[in-house]
A and B are shown apart, each in its own frame.
Chain A
């Protein structure tokens, strides 16, 4: 039991009961961040800001949304969009923030790959980050179903059908997930539950672990120099601020982050106010109809690369059905990013990609290939498009198969 004395003020009163000063020191004012980082290191805080936007706008939408096949479409397109004051704003912010979250997640993820921040003690940061990517993907997919338009319905139909690729029990699994033979009322209501309760809880928990896993290996820096954080922190605390190579998370690092967040939010609200339609597919303004497939089905832009890997294999190879090859490639594409720290056979070299020639080429090939997959994922899969998609999917798989060999060669070269 602590010695409780008459408090000298409110903070002191709290401190005696909750140790708020020690807590602030550990979490904020003595959490040390390297100086040699750039704006790409602010993406985590941008994501937190976007998640806050999603949470608050989501709560407001939740007050009027109705998870029922007969009511859902009108509750979104009539009640929220036309009756609720500022309902249109919450909806457009929610939709645009979902898209923007994926944009920033991709930047965050490729920053980590470029600067080697996924290895040498930082594997758990990478793995929890990938779990977050999957959880956000599930969140985006379940949320996309809720307006119950034609795109909502057919995306749900196609994606749930992917589980039929599971050997033997596949068809039963699909019916179990949907709660019906087709995507129907039971499906909508259970995905609503996932979207508003279970997945957000999972995301919050994994975010906590993601932050925690960052604490011991510390944030990487853009030159990948190993810092003696204790010594550098000591210099800072002694007042040798210029000489020290670290700054405290609060207030120094966060003030820079707030600038980047402010800059980004300007862009975000520009999109919300003038280009919200990119997150509002016109096909989805037609109510869901299980008897009519839209002529052309495609996912939101952030899933296109994945979708193109799935459908890139459009012909049978060696007696294996095209669909099965596509599914295997799709599963591979989703799992392989998790394995990145273990596919990199030069684990001790955390230098940025521009100091690792072979890895540099690999990195930019991956980016270009994923852009090609994204562009062709939106185009109809006919004629030459199908072949471009096929080769881009093969290159994607090939890059990850080649990575262990490239990095192994690199580590051999360094030892000579």
Chain B
């Protein structure tokens, strides 16, 4: 009987320690797959908006993603929840990856829409989906306004206000 319980104890101890070790090892493996610190801190991008003309669309790269910056022309419908106002100018800043499966939509100036070639998704000039499979509007990257320059990656007051409304 005593023999049996001693064996049980050894068995349980071995099983317990192996389980703890296994779980810790799995945790370490999970972390090895995480993005590296150098990838996570992949910089902040500053973009000068002062030189952009009405209706002009620029694409910049931020953390490996395309970001669309569009200066809306006067006749483009405004969207108070998504427009960035700098003086009289209105801009939209959007992450240029279709919210369906991550293809890059292209801007069609004549219809003022972003069109995704992969599965036919369409977004209006403010990035709101109007047709096809996209489940939500194009994402707005964190940004901060410094006069007529915006910094992508930093969360400024305008960005926080925008995300609160949405």
Binding site for B on A (CB under 8 A): 154, 157-158, 161-162, 175-182, 184, 186, 190, 290-297, 311, 313-314, 321-324, 326, 381-382, 386
Q: Decide if A311 touches B33 in the complex (CB within 8 Å).
A: no
Known: A182-B65, A291-B61, A314-B120. A162 touches B34 (CB 8 A): no
From B63, B100, B117, B119, A181 is in contact (CB under 8 Å) with B63
Q: How far is the CB of B115 from chain A (nearest CB, A)?
A: 11
Q: How far is the CB of B157 from chain A (nearest CB, A)?
A: 24
Known: A291-B61, A291-B104, A386-B120. A314 touches B133 (CB 8 A): yes
From B61, B64, B135, A323 is in contact (CB under 8 Å) with B135
Q: Decide if A179 touches B133 in the complex (CB within 8 Å).
A: no
User: Cβ of B65: which chain A residues have Cβ within 8 Å of it?
Assistant: 181-182, 290
Residue B13 interfacial (CB < 8 Å): no
From A157, A181, A313, A314, B35 is in contact (CB under 8 Å) with A181
Q: Which 3 A-B pairs have the closest CB atoms?
A: A182-B64, A321-B135, A161-B102
Q: Decide if B132 touches A314 in the complex (CB within 8 Å).
A: yes
- The closest CB in chain A to the CB of B117 belongs to A295
Residue B86 interfacial (CB < 8 Å): no
Bound CA–CA A373/B82 (angstroms)? 39
Which residues in window 25-62 of B have CB below 8 A to A? Answer: 30, 33-36, 39, 42, 59, 61
Q: Decide if B33 touches A176 in the complex (CB within 8 Å).
A: yes
Q: Decide if B103 touches A181 in the complex (CB within 8 Å).
A: no
Residue B12 interfacial (CB < 8 Å): no
Residue B134 interfacial (CB < 8 Å): yes
Q: Decide if A293 touches B103 in the complex (CB within 8 Å).
A: yes
Residue B101 interfacial (CB < 8 Å): yes
Q: Decide if A381 touches B117 in the complex (CB within 8 Å).
A: no
Q: Decide if A381 touches B101 in the complex (CB within 8 Å).
A: no
Bound CA–CA A180/B33 (angstroms)? 10
Q: Chain B: how many interface residues by the 8 Å CB criterion?
A: 26
- The closest CB in chain B to the CB of A177 belongs to B33
Bound CA–CA A314/B36 (angstroms)? 36
User: Cβ of A179: which chain B residues have Cβ within 8 Å of it?
Assistant: 33-36, 39
Bound CA–CA A322/B100 (angstroms)? 9
Tell me what chain B mostly uses at the interface: helix, strand, loop, or mixed.
loop
Bound CA–CA A184/B40 (angstroms)? 13
User: Cβ of A296: which chain B residues have Cβ within 8 Å of it?
Assistant: 117-118
A sample of 21 inter-chain contacts (CB < 8 A) reads A162-B101, A179-B36, A179-B39, A180-B35, A181-B35, A184-B39, A184-B64, A186-B36, A186-B39, A290-B65, A291-B59, A291-B61, A291-B104, A292-B104, A296-B118, A321-B133, A322-B135, A323-B100, A323-B135, A324-B135, A382-B120
Known: A181-B65, A326-B133. A314 touches B119 (CB 8 A): yes
Bound CA–CA A179/B38 (angstroms)? 11
Bound CA–CA A162/B133 (angstroms)? 13
User: Cβ of A381: which chain B residues have Cβ within 8 Å of it?
Assistant: 119-120
Residue B156 interfacial (CB < 8 Å): no
From A176, A295, A322, A382, B34 is in contact (CB under 8 Å) with A176
Q: How far is the CB of A199 from chain B (nearest CB, A)?
A: 16
User: Cβ of B118: which chain A residues have Cβ within 8 Å of it?
Assistant: 158, 293, 296-297
Residue B137 interfacial (CB < 8 Å): no
List 17 additional contacts besides A292-B104, A321-B133; criterion CB under 8 Å: A157-B103, A158-B101, A158-B102, A161-B101, A162-B101, A176-B33, A179-B39, A180-B35, A182-B64, A290-B66, A291-B104, A293-B117, A296-B118, A297-B103, A297-B118, A322-B133, A382-B120
User: Cβ of A321: which chain B residues have Cβ within 8 Å of it?
Assistant: 133, 135
Q: How far is the CB of A73 from chain B (nearest CB, A)?
A: 18
User: Cβ of A386: which chain B residues have Cβ within 8 Å of it?
Assistant: 120
Bound CA–CA A161/B134 (angstroms)? 13
Q: How far is the CB of B62 from chain A (nearest CB, A)?
A: 9
